[in-house]
Chain A
């Protein structure tokens, strides 16, 4: 359900960088720990972007799995469930390597072919 709030944050970031140009694509990197439902984010983005330079823009989502490492025995593994305890030594000092990302990487904007002609 946080996808509405997050889609608004994505929109604001994209609009700020678009410099008034029409945005065709927004490229995002999203870590698994953010618990974002891709289809839900796309659904809300379509709605919140109406009437902005991002209207009709497509989202390109790079999904990153949650990789963590045990601080005690240095075992690293992929989290499927949110259990931050080492499967090898049971230690709970667990460092998150990837999975917290929520980045706007780039946007594709439309440029006029020749700005000299009006």
Chain B
């Protein structure tokens, strides 16, 4: 069992509140003042036929677009595994079905809306689209959903069952559900309630170009400070860290959860991405996508740093995602440039 297994990130693609399927946000991020912002969609025609597109909700179209785009960039036709994280699944169809059920009663309900309301439709549709019979799974654990999916891929790689995995995070929003997100404190004061579709292609082939490596991942529920410290040290010992990608958002309660980092790794600059991509159940995937882009480019752009100055990425970026102050996901991405 290879404990020091390094998984490479071949590609990472996004549809979010930034310009879709590109990295212009690194230099010129779109900025918003509204509390609820939907994603900027690309032209889906290059990814799905008009007929198929009519039958698919937005979440599914975005999942296909980011998946196909990630597979193309990574030069993989069919991944060995397709694993998705989603907090709410297809909100649009869930809401339509639920609304009709509650307001109009138990007649005339639409099967397509029900089918698409199931959380695993993205993973299975990607399977159908790529004709992939391999490992296929879906996780739904609020803002930890993507981290759980990535952990599953990490397990499958370590067991030697797969050589590549397409790991995604797909969450869409509606105005009704965005209010629910606020009421349930999934999105807090000062945060933008947003949407995200992220597809990350990972694999073990060292001959392929890659953004960076994924060197480890630990998920913890209500850890003690000792458990947290052990987890971070076991991941980062011997690694030069050039930043910690946090889920800090400017909300005081949310940001207080990350305070321990100042004591544990005081000299490493704290980075944040939620001001760029907003907050949704797939947020942590936007953080990993952003970190992978930084390591590919060799630079953390000013828009992600606390002091507004860019940072050279000559080592690793630690990702720390904390959900509701209780679920902790800690992972390490490392630069492929030079010897670290």
Decide whether A and B are members of one complex: no
B residues in contact (CB < 8 Å) with A:
none
A residues in contact (CB < 8 Å) with B:
none
